[in-house]
Amino acid sequence: MPETVKASHISTPIVSGQTPPRLALAQLPTPLQPLKRLSERLGGPRIWVKRDDLTGSVLSGNKVRKLEFNLAQAIAEGCDTIITCGGVQSNHCRATALLCAQLGLQCHLILRGSEPQIADGNLFLDRLAGARISYYPAAQYQRELDDILVHFQAHYQQQNNKAFIIPTGASDAIGVWGYVEACAELTNDFAQHGILPSHIICATGSGGTQAGLTAGVQRYGVDAQVWGVNVCDDEAWFLNKVTRDLVDWEQRYQTGIDLESLSVKVIDGYVGAGYAQAGPEIFNCISDIARSEGLILDPVYTGKAFYGMLDQLQQGRFGQTGDIVFIHTGGVFGVFPQRDQFDF
């Protein structure tokens, strides 16, 4: 285990304002780019991509925005160890492992599944970053996750360490801030490009990105509908999860937002065989977008969501004109473990 650096020794600036403690960890603002060729080819509204895959290199993706808040809270509470959880190829766990290394915190990952023979993609980076890893069979993980997290927290306490638990995907009341504040950035992007998009679309895996965007458009006066394309579970599950995250967020921070007025919308139908299992149409879509736009999507999150968005666009859900924005939430390392599925 790496030597622990106490919170008081951490020099990364905490940016304070109206929002709770925040560490400046992501490369912001990320670009907002039009997908010109694709939009012309499809002939509907113009498609823009918010390049949150560029929040960093290895620290890329949506999780970094959330972790700016979760890790700041951990440090503010004097914690020296972070415990978090996810799938073996979790982007969130990879981002957390690397940020902990950057901040001098210990990191313990609780991963769902068995240890693969080869540590590929995100798992390879988790290992490289020196995270401690515990694997649990899927059924046990599903059943006992909360107990496992608390068990390890108590274990660290016995060792005179203070551990902070970040739940799946940092999708909780604290992590919601990441995409609430991303909406302030989006208002600048829109002003800069002179556009007023009417739809914002993201992949939804644990709900925090969608929850943040949904509250953020309201908080910053963006007149757009936020849609989450779920990549696992179903619409009912995410309507409940996103709403619960928003209620928790409002209860904790009392921002004064009118929760009743928030419009939580999920586009279901693109999960395929299950989480991290994509059909050939998704792999074809990823190849097509890589070749036509130089944009890399992944088969677990952004590939499914982008494919779903294009399918819905062709069915007219987003109208025939105007602008729509896809939030590219990262996930590039998820391509590598599924390299065999690409047909080229």
Ligand X SMILES: Cc1ncc(COP(=O)(O)O)c(C=O)c1O
d(CA 71, CA 20): 11
Taking CB under 6 A as the criterion, which residues in 45-74 touch ligand X?
Answer: 61-62
Contacts made by residues 150-155, CB under 8 angstroms, sequence distance 24+ = 152/83, 152/108, 152/110, 153/83
Q: CB of residue 302 vs ligand X: minimum separation in angstroms? A: 6
Active-site entry in 8, 16, 60, 90? 90
With a CB cutoff of 8 Å and minimum separation 6, the contacts of 324 are 45, 46, 47, 48, 197, 198, 199, 200, 201, 309, 313, 318
Rounded Cα gap, residues 313 and 23, in angstroms: 37
Output 45 or 208, the one with its CB closest to ligand X: 208
Angle at 223 between CA 242 and CA 43, to 5 degrees: 100
Q: How far is the CB of 241 from ligand X (least distance, A)?
A: 9
For the question of residue 90 being annotated catalytic, the response is: yes
Contact letters for ligand X, residues 287-316 (x by CB under 6 A): --------------xx--------------
Q: CA nearest 243: which of 199, 277, 204?
A: 204
Among 171, 214, 218, 312, binds ligand X (CB under 6 A): 171
Among positions 197-236, residues that touch ligand X (CB under 6 A) are 203-210
Pick one of 21, 29, 121, 169: the residue that binds ligand X (CB under 6 A).
169
Give the interface segment with ligand X, choosing from 7-15, 108-116, 250-258, 329-337 (CB under 6 A).
329-337
How many residues bind to ligand X according to rule CB under 6 A? 19
Considering only 22, 92, 108, 199, the residue that binds ligand X (CB under 6 A) is: 92
Cα Rg of the chain, angstroms: 19
Q: Is 329 in the site for ligand X (CB under 6 A)?
A: yes
In Å, how far are 67, 178, 202, 260 from 219, measured between CA atoms? Answer: 20, 13, 18, 14
Site of interaction with ligand X (CB under 6 A): 61-62, 91-92, 169, 171, 203-210, 301-302, 329-331
Catalytic residues: 90
